[in-house]
Amino acid sequence: MRNVWAHDALKKFYPSAYEQEVHHTYINLHALVDWYISGTPKQPCVKESEATAPASVSDTAEQSSRTLRMVTVERNGNILYTWKGTHGLPCIGLYDPHLSQNQLLYYFEEDVHIISCSVNHEKTLLAVSYCISSEETRRLPHWSGFRYMAILVEIQPINNVKVLKVVDTSMRVQFLYPTEGCHQFPESHLLVVSDEKYIELCHISVVTEDGNNVVIANTGHFPKDRIAEEVVWAQWDAPGQRLFFIIPKRSSCVLHCVQFYPDDHFKFVFEVPLEITLSKQTLSLVNLGCDPREDRGKGRTAALNLQVFTNKTGGLCLIYVHPFPVAQEIHYQVVYLHKGYVNTFKAATTKPDTVPLNTVSFIHLDSYIAVYVPNQSLHMINTRHPELMCYNLFLTGVDAQLNGMCSDCRVQSAWSSCAIESCTGIVFSVSVNTETLLGLLSRTKLDCERLAILHFVLLHHSQLENKILEWMCDHLSVCQSFDPIQEFIIASSYRKFSVEAIHLDKLLPYTSVPFWNEEIPCVSCVTEITDMPILKIGTFKGFWETFHSELEYMKVSQRRFWHSDSRRDWKKLINEVDTREKRNAIYQRTVLENSKKVILNMGTWTNERRRAPLLREEDYHDKELMGLMMVKLKDHLSLHLLHVGKSKIEQIVVDYVSKQLDLVCLIVEVSWKRYNVDPRAFGFQGKANTSEYYIFQIMCCISEAAGKMCMPLPPGYHTLHLVLGVRCLPLENFLHCIDSGILQLTEAFVIKLFKELNDDAKNERIKRSIILRLPERISEKVHHLWDHAVSNNLIAMKYVNQLLSRFKKRENELPRQTKPAQRIGFLPLNYLIMMLSDVEDRALNNPFEEDNIDAAYLEEIALKQTAVLLGLQKS
């Protein structure tokens, strides 16, 4: 065996990410390495070094491209790959995606099949495990009988090759990487995983010679730690430097996890029993190299299809496909280790006689796991909120096809949003094609798919809010099982605030449908309680701190803040507008101060280019509802977020409520732009056009959604809604909307109505109908704006009411007066005259009286009102 090192031996390749054509689905695949050498696109080529490379090296681009295969992806993103070079001999290269550069690390002079390889962080050591082919063993003069070998190569520069193991079973090698900014030199640590079902950690010391040369210091046996034995499955998590493995027990098996640290120590983090029987299972490995071609199909690829996924929010899931070679239903389990329960899914297949289940692939998309069966189905499983089946997007047929991918092998997820096609060794970055997803949203007829798509887009793509709103404007009536406006407001608010504090994502609502009873076609789900992991470490850092907090929270009672929980208090507040609750000065001051903070914190007023004419008015009704929501939400968060200060909680509450109001303003703004409504529509002149009718309908839907959520509406909303109602509806329908609560009268609307409309017969009818429906708080401020008999009657009625209420309060305190001599046959009117006479006699001594109004005029008003009530006279 002879090795050659040539600096820049590979001519610089020009990788370019290209998007493969994908029809009727929402997953785009971008190849990370696209070969382009010497004007020949997508073909690799080796350029020999004049100083050190042999003259016989003359690889063809076609041969190199055909044998190109990805082997390992390191923690820093470097990709190790192999190809057949001179005379079909294997070479090992490294691609750095950050620098877009390729580097030749090593090549062999014998025909071997490379199983796994790994380079240390400093790029000074290369570990390789390989298999000698049958033809090669027959011609080797000193063949010892063992086919598998693991070696350690010094590559700075290439000097010595040290044999780690020579055995008759396959091995995998993997260097540990330190955290960013931490350099582990001069010692490296190498994991060795053997098909003999054991895992050990080798510690390798290196020294520098002649300034730059790095050589291995301990040339003898390396110190080793035995990590585990009797292992039947293992997975390497490169980003987190974690090793998951399963050891079978009598009736089940146990999942273990080992966390490796920058220095030479490691810790067993947890163990959890699994209801999976694997006692006779051959060793299965994930993210630890690949099988030799001679060994493929001999049990490894048909072995255990199981993988563990983690995400930045503390989620830890295990997904497992039941080993049926061909079935009419695919059974797969998702064990949510951070939740303590498991979902067992059953998905129907369309080609039960031809689809082997060993091609079922898992694709990691942060808080989602995609289960992909080629030409069959694509199931997006929500691991963050697995309790709701309606957030799992399940597609079949042409919608689930991923064109351009091999249908005969699995796709392996190396890390989040990255996948490896095992049969070709190509590395893909995986992303969601939002345009195709929005297209599916428009053409689907199922509420379960609409809700799943809305939830995915709103929680992961804030820049698409306007497009979602445009879809909502055209499809408000198509959703029967949920309200898209409620989902938009709640999900968008949840996305922003779920990362503000620990556990906040578990306390705020994330959906408008906490219960879902509809079935999803072609898939069923059974939920069972399972054991939670038993942690073996005392201190938690990084991911494990978040994971531990998830486990601790699952042990206590959980309660989210749902808007509907405030409905009882909401109705009580409305019904007690002028009762003792309102007279509580402290409560009233707190509510008003809270609402003032919310309004000042709204971002809507900073946008001077808005099209919808939302005024900066403050409606008293919604101000009080804002204050109530803040009080309830603050109490809820203070009860559970004991580690968060009061000022921080108060700021979260203010931001949360103001964010929801801003979202309502955004819906209105997008609607006005969508239908190109003229801002002059905010007036009473002229008739409404079709666009204004659409806007009025959308605002009615917003009001209905806010009412069901017990949520206030932003300042100026009711006034704009009322003006559109006058323009769009006949008077009878408009008044019916006011009486039924769809429209709420505001002071700004009444002032605008009285000032802009003259007193012709039609307008007088409108004004009279409105002023008779005004709440007392508004009426006492605006009745003087209209010089009309109706207003005068209201003034008189108000005055009499005040006098009667004051007289009733003092009736027991004042001496009784002589009854008037004049009597009328109608007893109610006679009693009223008597009361008015008593008031008139004490007018000069009444400390509450400030106005000088003739009693005879009051008697005249009383007679007229009584006659109207009896039907003897028209008003």
Res 181: pLDDT: 59
3 state DSSP class of 18: coil
pLDDT per position as a tens digit, 303-316: 678 999 998 888 89
Res 182: pLDDT: 62
Output 547 or 418, whichever has higher pLDDT.
547
pLDDT per position as a tens digit, 712-747: 898 889 999 999 999 899 999 999 999 988 898 888
Which pair of tokens denotes residue 623? 């101000």
Least confident of 358-367, 432-441, 675-684, 782-791: 782-791
Mean pLDDT score of the chain, rounded to an integer?
76
CA–CA gap between residue 483 and residue 391 (Å, rounded): 15
Cβ atoms of 698 and 667 within 8 Å: the answer is yes
Res 360: pLDDT: 84
* Mean pLDDT comparison of 8-22, 348-362, 773-787, highest-scoring range: 773-787
Angle made by CA atoms 603, 604, 609, in degrees to the nearest 5: 120
pTM for the model: 0.78
As a whole number of Å, the end-to-end CA separation of the chain is 113
**pLDDT tops 90 at residue 640:** no
pLDDT-based confidence at residue 301 (cuts at 50, 70, 90): very low
CA–CA gap between residue 317 and residue 311 (Å, rounded): 9
In percent, how much of the chain has pLDDT > 90?
Answer: 19
CA–CA gap between residue 398 and residue 226 (Å, rounded): 49
**pLDDT tops 80 at residue 405:** no
Sign (positive or negative) of CA dihedral 246, 248, 253, 258: negative
Which pair of tokens denotes residue 615? 């005024």
pLDDT-based confidence at residue 680 (cuts at 50, 70, 90): confident
Res 51: pLDDT: 26
Least confident of 174-178, 261-265, 582-586, 703-707: 582-586
Region 624-650 average pLDDT: 85
Region 507-529 average pLDDT: 83
Which pair of tokens denotes residue 91? 């070479």
Helices marked H in 70-197: 134-139
CA–CA gap between residue 705 and residue 667 (Å, rounded): 12
CA–CA gap between residue 59 and residue 89 (Å, rounded): 10
pLDDT-based confidence at residue 268 (cuts at 50, 70, 90): very high
Indicate the DSSP class of residue 609: T
pLDDT per position as a tens digit, 812-824: 555 555 544 455 5
**pLDDT tops 60 at residue 490:** yes
Region 773-791 average pLDDT: 69
Cβ atoms of 131 and 154 within 8 Å: the answer is no
Which pair of tokens denotes residue 135? 């033809």
Helices marked H in 461-500: 465-474, 484-497
Which pair of tokens denotes residue 454? 């809305």
- Cβ neighbours of residue 11 closer than 8 Å, sequence gap 6 or more: 37, 38, 45, 46, 47
DSSP 739-776: HTTSS---HHHHHHHHHHS--SHHHHHHHHHHHTT--H
Cβ atoms of 836 and 854 within 8 Å: the answer is no
Cβ atoms of 331 and 318 within 8 Å: the answer is no
Res 292: pLDDT: 55
Output 24 or 240, whichever has higher pLDDT.
240
Region 605-624 average pLDDT: 71
Q: Which of 260, 254, 258 is nearest to 272 (CA)?
A: 254
In percent, how much of the chain has pLDDT > 70?
Answer: 72
Res 32: pLDDT: 26
pLDDT-based confidence at residue 425 (cuts at 50, 70, 90): low
Q: Which helix (H) or strand (E) holds 733?
A: helix 731-739
CA–CA gap between residue 617 and residue 715 (Å, rounded): 5
Res 496: pLDDT: 85
Which pair of tokens denotes residue 381? 């499983």
CA–CA gap between residue 801 and residue 791 (Å, rounded): 15
**pLDDT tops 60 at residue 300:** no
**pLDDT tops 80 at residue 606:** no
pLDDT per position as a tens digit, 356-380: 556 788 888 888 998 988 878 889 9
Q: Which of 187, 181, 215 is nearest to 201 (CA)?
A: 187
Task: State the pairing for strand pair 233-237/284-286.
Answer: parallel
CA–CA gap between residue 404 and residue 20 (Å, rounded): 6
Cβ atoms of 116 and 141 within 8 Å: the answer is no
Cβ atoms of 202 and 190 within 8 Å: the answer is yes
Res 127: pLDDT: 94
Res 20: pLDDT: 27
CA 367 centroid distance within chain: 7
CA–CA gap between residue 634 and residue 650 (Å, rounded): 7
Output 646 or 589, whichever has higher pLDDT.
646
Radius of gyration of the chain (CA): 38
Cβ atoms of 386 and 339 within 8 Å: the answer is yes
Cβ atoms of 712 and 661 within 8 Å: the answer is yes
* Burial class (CB within 10 angstroms; exposed 0-12, middle 13-18, buried 19+) of 278: buried
Cβ atoms of 709 and 563 within 8 Å: the answer is yes
pLDDT per position as a tens digit, 52-110: 223 333 344 566 667 778 888 898 888 898 888 767 788 999 988 888 888 889 988 88
Kindly report whether the peptide bond that precedes residue 613 is cis, defined as omega within 30 degrees of 0: no
Cβ atoms of 269 and 544 within 8 Å: the answer is yes
Least confident of 158-172, 181-195, 249-263: 181-195
* E strand residue ranges, 64-119: 69-73, 79-84, 90-96, 101-107, 112-119
Res 486: pLDDT: 92
CA–CA gap between residue 508 and residue 833 (Å, rounded): 60
* Mean pLDDT comparison of 109-113, 485-489, 602-606, highest-scoring range: 485-489
Which pair of tokens denotes residue 745? 């009268």
* Burial class (CB within 10 angstroms; exposed 0-12, middle 13-18, buried 19+) of 362: buried
Render the burial of 284-306: b for 16+ CB within 10 Å, e for the rest.
Answer: bbbbbbbbbeebeeeebbbbbbb
Output 35 or 534, whichever has higher pLDDT.
534
> What is the amino acid identity at position 811?
E
**pLDDT tops 50 at residue 299:** no
pLDDT per position as a tens digit, 520-551: 888 888 888 888 898 998 888 889 988 988 88
CA–CA gap between residue 99 and residue 96 (Å, rounded): 6
Residue 257's alpha-carbon distances to 93, 172, 366, 415, 665, in angstroms, are 31, 18, 20, 17, 49
Instruction: Name residue 817's beta-bridge partners.
Output: none
CA–CA gap between residue 22 and residue 449 (Å, rounded): 20
Least confident of 178-192, 398-412, 666-680: 398-412
CA–CA gap between residue 189 and residue 667 (Å, rounded): 56
> What is the amino acid identity at position 491?
A
Instruction: Name residue 83's beta-bridge partners.
Output: 91
Cβ atoms of 320 and 335 within 8 Å: the answer is yes
Region 184-202 average pLDDT: 87
Region 142-170 average pLDDT: 81
Least confident of 19-33, 81-95, 770-784: 19-33
